[in-house]
Structure 1
């Protein structure tokens, strides 16, 4: 289904076209200059594709991402986000997704920048600048898009400056991270980030349960136990968990298991049965069935398709 942009998004694309074009060229130059696995700054990812990417599992950590060229579709549980160069993506907690890069070509490649957010720094900024009560707090989804204004693109430009800085980028990066987080916290999507960071809020409690799940996804769980870790009743916990992640706690755990299984199959070339048990499945048959439902093909065929594309 084709995504129709609003008039406001179209106007924003026209207004920001020169700076986005310049930034995209800088990203491509940095990618060409450095090895593909090089991390030029901690938590900063520069991405480029000259062909579409079919639905692929991707685990989003708290981050700020901007597409400079192209478009992407992200499936988070029951929700679908379509974002392009007119929008930025804010993720406030750990979320397993399925992503697609749409319509990329050699002449018009997909180019993006992702900056992971340090939530400890976010807490410091909130405390230092007394932003705890700034604006309205919401308990909406842990993922949202906002307008990619010149101000947002300027943050990307400063990040790219440091990626190619010959001095001491680590010191300056610490300062820039605080500016990025400050502008996100006081911006139109800031309520989501503040809600996750602030101790005691519903979203902060859900984030703690999510972090536990992320570290212990292979273990059997009971929703009652997770609710206890979040300090909530089961019904309240289930409601807020679904609001933040667009899925139930058990669906979230399944997503974590399947994404890790796919990573292990690729990285270690282990057999499907071994991987199934490592990620917490008791039945390899159930694993293959759920894997196929998630990724469109059974494990072995999926691996072959990925290898053929690379």
Structure 2
């Protein structure tokens, strides 16, 4: 069970449903008073903590659940489907999200001695573990700092450093270290994923991506699936479809133009894959989303 004092602090910030940024850069809190429809979004390098209620995240074919007191780490940008599965007006879903800095993780990991991790440990770029008392205390102090705005600029970076050190030393450590270990497959795949996030509208082949990762295509496919939970082409398709949905909803593009902008050459293929991912053809899906006022850019 998550610490009631931290849940109380977050509930005080999020007094109504929504996503609430704070005066501490990268710290956001969330409140939902009802279970949600599937939310397709991209999780970046971050630590998320459920304080009340429950959530389910689908990454490829893998399903992760996390409830009160459980934390989720994501180390590279991953397209996921998230659901709030336990929430009510009496006991709303409460969640804290802290964006992490890859440079800070790399710096501290380089200065800390670690025992060799098992070969299979820390390959997936997303993990769920129960929060330990030390990390809970650090996060609580970070949120409490919001009541002393004059101290945020001076003390928030120090508490964030402590959080990174505790993460590296704790159960999430293998997942984080796999991201930053020099020359590791995880580091190579992480760099390729970062490149794909900025170039996904281009004509990209697995062979080109494998060359960027300094791997053979077969080795690259295996390591990519281990890290991202899906194949490189599935990852690329998810990025394109999510961006097309965003363009249609927020820029009023029609399906044909949205498909072209995200890299599709065939409108029929786009419509077919769109329906497979979102459950409705583009026009019907966007109409439904506008009726419910839910946008794909919203963080899940």
Give the TM-score taking structure 2 as reference length: 0.91
Whole-Å Cα distance in 1 between the matches of residues 160 and 94 of structure 2?
A: 21
Whole-Å Cα distance in 2 between the matches of residues 36 and 247 of structure 1?
A: 28
Cα RMSD between the aligned structures? 2.0
Whole-Å Cα distance in 1 between the matches of residues 282 and 153 of structure 2?
A: 41
Q: Mapping of 1:250-265 within 5 angstroms? A: 250-265=233-248
1:25 aligns with 2:11: no
SS of residue paired to 1:54: coil
Unaligned segments of structure 2, at least 5 residues: 294-300
Report Cα offsets for 1:96-124 as digits up to 9, x if no partner.
10111113211111100011110101111
Whole-Å Cα distance in 2 between the matches of residues 192 and 286 of structure 1?
A: 36
Give yes or no for contact 1:76–1:98 (8 Å, CA) kept in 2: yes
- Does 150-159 or 281-290 show the bigger shift? 150-159
Aligned to 2:71: 88
Tell me which stretches of 4 or more aligned residues in structure 1 moved more than 6 Å: none
Whole-Å Cα distance in 1 between the matches of residues 50 and 134 of structure 2?
A: 14
Aligned to 1:77: 60
Partner of residue 117 from structure 2, selected from 136, 143, 146: 136
Report Cα offsets for 1:61-113 as digits up to 9, x if no partner.
11111000111111111211111114210111111101111132111111000
The CA deviation at 1:135 is 4.5
Whole-Å Cα distance in 2 between the matches of residues 57 and 297 of structure 1?
A: 14
The CA deviation at 1:222 is 1.0
Aligned to 1:10: none
Give the TM-score taking structure 1 as reference length: 0.88
1:169 aligns with 2:152: yes
Give yes or no for contact 2:72–2:129 (8 Å, CA) kept in 1: yes
The CA deviation at 1:233 is 1.4
The CA deviation at 1:194 is 0.5
How many residues end up aligned between the 2 structures? 291
Residues 36 and 146 (structure 1), Cα distance of their counterparts in 2 relative to 1, 3 Å cut: closer
Aligned to 1:266: 249
Partner of residue 143 from structure 2, selected from 149, 160, 174: 160
The CA deviation at 1:300 is 2.0
1:113 aligns with 2:106: no
